[in-house]
Amino acid sequence: MEERYDFKKVEERWQRAWQEQKTFKVVEDPSKPKYYCLEMFPYPSGRIHMGHVRNYAIGDVISRYKRMRGFNVLHPMGWDSFGLPAENAAIKHGIPPAQWTFENIAYMRDKQLKRLGLSYDWDREVTTCLEEYYRWNQWFFIRMYERGLAYKKLSYVNWCPSCNTVLANEQVEQGLCWRCSSVVTHKELEQWFFKITAYAEELLSYCEKLTGWPERVLTMQRNWIGKSIGVEADFTVQGSAEKLTIFTTRPDTLYGVTFMSIAPEHPMVESLINGTPDADQVRAFCQRVMREDRAERTDEKRKKEGMFTGAYAINPLNNERVPIWVGNFVLMEYGTGAIMSVPAHDQRDFEFARNYGLPIRVVIQNAEKNLDPSTMKEAYVEEGTMVNSGPFDGTPNGAGKEKVADYVEQRNIGRRTVNWRLRDWGISRQRYWGTPIPIIYCEACGAVPVPEKDLPVRLPKDVALTGKGRSPLSESQSFRDTTCPTCGGRAHRETDTMDTFVDSSWYFLRYCSPGESVAPFDKKAAGYWMNIDQYIGGIEHAVLHLLYARFFTKVIRDLGLYDGDEPFLNLLTQGMVIKDGAKMSKSKGNVVDPDFILTKYGADTARLFSLFAAPPERDLEWSDQGVDGAYRFLHRVWAVVYKNIERVKDVKPAGSEARGDTLYRKTHLTIKKVTEDIEREFHFNTAISALMEMVNALYDYTSDGVEEQQLPVLRSAIDMLTLLIAPFAPHLAEELNASLGNKASIAHSSWPTYDPEAIVAAEVTIVVQVNGKVRSRLTMPVGAPDREAEAAALADPKVKEYTLGKLPKKVIVVPGKLVNIVV
RNA sequence: GCCGCUGUGGCGGAAUUGGCAGACGCAAGAGACUUAAAAUCUCUCGACGGGCAACUGUCGUACCGGUUCGAUUCCGGUCAGCGGCACCA
């Protein structure tokens, strides 16, 4: 053992050893309990950032800890390697996307992740842009197509007129293109969709069962799915056979309808205005609203505007005639695209009615009975009693909702229904670097799925990428032109590729059997490893990836491939890495490069700092001095072992005979504390602080020299410290472990257990309070009866001073902790 | 506007079931070692006040109130910050 800790030498040595000995390779072993620990896999952008370091350090501590606890741990890593940046690099630098991607993967894996000493089974590496992976995306697509879960429809998409391409919702930031900041418009295009709405109810109800998820993530998912229960009601159009169907969550206000509003895109607009005097103006109004871009259309400050169509509807409950308006605030995508307007009890309708002089009628009266349309300043949306509502007058409006719904259903003028905010998942992308959608369009047979035997549909390599024009694949004639698998006639392939979120929706199943070649994964292997006991990643995926992956898992279950309902049992959303009060980003210039930290301080320091500075779910403020502190601590550990190693090398560690020794007690207290902190919500920061306390105790213990009879206790302290620090600083721990004469890797050593007898102190400090304020402290033997503590407290001179001879009214004794005297 | 989260020293944070507020680390100050510096080691370190001193008094966990012998912790209200959703009928 060298005097000075040379992290570079030590870390390289052990990284090589782990790789050569395949220390972290795992296979299914039914005799051992399994543990599947997964960190969200990265996009191979070229460089990892501190957020990755933090994410993987957290996952690695958990994996290494569970491994030492005797679990068979699956801890894999891979690459979410399809995506637009590769295409952009190709356009900008003329490098093929595949080359760019694989070079990045090689650098990130070999020069960055492996340097961090992460305990992955690299034999299970999964790379989504490889044929062996994306062919199964195509396979899933076809299975879903057969079941009606993948379908094509004409729909409005986000379109960037400058980049000349479709953008995903997540690529639209405040209505602007993320790449060029152009205003995003709408465009109607034929797109492929996955029918995630078929699982809306289950995705929502299973949120209850995800007890290992942070509440805020579940809330975000619930909001995103957005279930509203209500009623659809049919209003007849006066002088027409057509019916206008509306959706409402407030059937209790049906008698308060004073007008109707429909979306400008509503298919009935034309028939309603046909022949009316203002038809042209209404048409022009609708055109104008529909031309507005996304940002304008959803601006909260936009004025509510509308026009009277000239047509009237009949309220099926009271047969009143109400005017039908077109409103710029009515959304075609939600409900039926038409609403009943009840200005007295809906703020938007209220503003609209005031604006255009439409009547307002109160049908829910408040407790003070003072609601009057002529004096109302805003809509009344609280609880109340139904009035002006025919047979329902006097009914509390909560109960009224159900009664009116019953009534509507009995009279066959409407029905109970549920509306969802969740939309089907549009997966078509007009991009090159993604999974080709396995569909062939035949002039005779229409859309035909590619037969399974013809999979994969390979991504062609000879495509010129310009960033302009249509889908790059449509420019490749050899790709596009093909024959129909059904009739053999002339046909062409679908040239759009899949959203990259498809890739990440099932990769965790692939890790269970990464070499599988006849199915996406082996059912038995997945049965052994799933579900994921701990999933770790950033909060930014709270809705998108985590919702898509839940959806895919349920589809895969229904395909009979996997027996489970949910993929992720426990979810840890780690906080961001912050510097100078802001998230690290190139534009802010506050980025700390992991390579620099690894070179200057080493992996163990980088890991230790990012685990110590904050608990995992909270944001972590980067501190250069904090990194120095972590570095100093590792050197302190090394130095105290180095100073004593020659003397303890051949000493047998102390056992229960050493109970009563201060260091022996501290050692066992530390085992208890570190174990409990890891088990309790992964509070690594306090676990590490306990290790620091133990090291401080070791310095105290050895500062004046060590007697011969103290050596076994010292030896056991050093042994235990090495084991406890192993998940956090694995290189240092391996080196100390080897220096102490152990041959096997510490990664598979058993986690220590503490001796409950050893942590019991002979004496405890009892806090003495007078009226709840601390006035004195007493030292009492452990287990002293309450009345002895009480008597000792009352006899205390300080206590006497504060009680001034008055008799105590009450004395509260908390055994072993506190005596409170109330006077 | 709705939903969620968070407010503790100069800073990051700790206090696990309502029982010693500030563990551990950083920064700062003093000292030891050194020709000197770095490194290392030791000590001090919430605010205000009293004492030569060991020590000691009061206040203090965003703010106001409540429950309790006792509140950073529980309850009600207010404020601030962060995040998500948002014309969803």
Q: Is the pLDDT of residue A170 over 60?
A: no
* The amino acid at A384: G
Question: What average pLDDT does the segment A314-319 reach?
Answer: 94
List A481's β-bridge partners, or say none: A492
Of A423, A419, A420, the closest CA to residue A168 belongs to: A423
Instruction: Give the separation between CA A456 and CA A434, rounded to whole angstroms.
Output: 13
Find the Å distance, CA of residue A157 to C1' of nucleotide B25.
51
State residue A469's pLDDT score. 62
Give A51 CA → B14 C1' in Å: 24
Tell me the C-alpha distance between A386 and A388, whole Å. Answer: 7
B30 C1' – A703 CA distance, angstroms? 22
Q: Average the pLDDT over A606-622 and give the result.
A: 92
Confirm if A529 and A74 have CB atoms less than 8 A apart.
Answer: yes
Q: Which two tokens stand for residue A188?
A: 């109607």
For chain A, give the mean pLDDT: 90
Tokens of A106: 């090689």
Residue A173: what pLDDT?
Answer: 63
Q: Which nucleotide lies closest to A612 by the C1' atom and the CA atom?
A: B25
Region of poorest pLDDT, from A602-616, A676-690, A770-784: A770-784
Sequence-distant (6+) residues with CB within 8 A of A467 are A87, A88, A91, A163, A164
Q: Is the pLDDT of residue A291 over 60?
A: yes
Maximum pairwise Cα distance, chain A: 109
Q: What is the mean pLDDT of residues A699-705?
A: 87
Query: Which residue's CA shows the smallest distance to C1' of B87?
Result: A329
Q: Is the pLDDT of residue A389 over 60?
A: yes
Between the CA of A699 and the C1' of B40, what is the distance in angstroms?
13
Distance, angstroms, CA A822 to C1' B71?
17
- pLDDT, residue A771, reads 84
Phi first, then psi: what are they for A274, rounded to 5°? -55, 120
Residue A398: the pLDDT is 87
Beta-ladder partners of A159: A166, A185
C1' (B85) to CA (A222) span, angstroms:
10
The span from the CA of A191 to the CA of A167, in Å, is 12
Task: Note the pTM of the prediction, 2 decimals.
Answer: 0.92
Mean pLDDT value across residues A57-74? 97
Q: Give pLDDT tens digits for A494-551.
A: 999 999 999 999 999 999 999 999 999 999 999 999 999 999 998 888 788 999 999 9
CA A756 centroid distance within chain: 39
Residue A258's Cβ-side half-sphere holds a number of Cα atoms within 13 Å equal to: 21
| CB under 8 A, 24+ apart: contacts of A12-19 | A13/A735, A14/A117, A14/A730, A14/A731, A14/A734, A14/A735, A15/A114, A15/A115, A15/A117, A15/A731, A17/A734, A17/A745, A18/A117, A18/A119, A18/A745, A18/A747, A19/A114, A19/A122
Residues A315, A473: Cα–Cα separation, whole Å: 53
**A239, two tokens:** 């002088």
Average pLDDT value for residue range A779-808 = 81
| Closest nucleotide C1' to the C-alpha of A228 | B88
Residue type at A425?
W
The pLDDT of residue A298 is: 65
Strand partners, A534: A37
φ, ψ (nearest 5 deg) of residue A713: -65, -40
pLDDT digits (tens, 9 = 90+) for A329-340: 898 888 899 999
> Higher confidence at residue A812 or residue A75?
A75
Among A256, A464, A241, smallest CA distance to A342 is for A256
The closest nt to A625, taking CA to C1', is B26
Name the least confident of A260-264, A318-322, A374-378.
A374-378
CA distance A363 to A669: 68
Check whether A178 has a pLDDT greater than 70.
no
ipTM: 0.94
Query: Residue A55 pLDDT more than 90?
Result: yes
Please name the residue whose C-alpha is nearest to the C1' of nucleotide B14: A686
Q: Which nucleotide is nearest to A776 (CA to C1')?
A: B20
List the one residue out of A756, A767, A764, A747 whose CA is nearest residue A813: A767
Nearby residues of A747 by Cβ (< 8 Å), 6 or more positions away:
A18, A23, A24, A64, A67, A68, A119, A726, A730, A734
Q: Is the pLDDT of residue A356 over 60?
A: yes
| CA dist., res. A812 & res. A786, Å (int) | 9
Average pLDDT value for residue range A394-404: 91
Per-residue pLDDT of A628-660, as tens digits, reads 999 999 999 999 999 999 999 999 999 999 988
- Please give the share of chain A, as a percent, with pLDDT higher than 90: 64
Among the listed residues A306, A381, A389, the one whose alpha carbon sits nearest the alpha carbon of residue A343: A381
Is A759 a residue whose pLDDT tops 70? yes
Q: Which nucleotide is nearest to A333 (CA to C1')?
A: B88
Considering only residues A162 and A479, tell me which one the structure prediction assigns the higher pLDDT: A479
CA A443 remoteness from chain centre: 44
DSSP codes, A542-578: TTHHHHHHHHHHHHHHHTTS---S-SBSBEEEEPPEE
Q: List the single range of A61-70, A434-443, A471-480, A779-788 with lowest mean pLDDT.
A: A779-788
pLDDT for the residue numbered A106: 97
Task: Provide the pLDDT for residue A630.
Answer: 95
Q: What angle do CA A471, A476, A477 make, to 5 degrees?
A: 125
Find which nucleotide's C1' atom is closest to A630's CA.
B25
Contact A586, A66 (CB under 8 A): no
Within A195-343, residue ranges assigned H as helices are: 200-205, 215-225, 269-273, 279-291, 294-297
φ and ψ at residue A36, rounded to 5 degrees: -110, 110
Please, where are the H alpha helices in A658-729? 662-679, 684-702, 711-725
Q: Using the structure block, give the residue that is written with the tokens 């390289």.
A: A12
Q: Give me the sheet containing A773-781, strands edge to edge.
A: A773-781, A763-770, A818-822, A810-814
The gap between A59 CA and B38 C1' (Å) is 37
Cis peptide before A158 (omega within 30 of 0): no
Q: Which nucleotides of B are covered by protein (CB under 7 A)?
A: 3-5, 11-16, 19-21, 23-27, 39-42, 57-58, 69-71, 83-89
What's the full length of chain A, in residues?
A: 823
Q: Which stretch of A160-169, A474-483, A544-553 has the lowest confidence by average pLDDT?
A: A160-169
Work out the pLDDT band at A468, boundaries 50, 70, 90.
Answer: low
Q: Return the higher-pLDDT residue of A631 and A85.
A: A631
* Contacts of residue A295, Cβ cutoff 8 Å, sequence gap at least 6: A174, A175, A176, A183, A184
Q: What is the pLDDT of residues A687-698, one digit of tens each?
A: 999 999 999 999
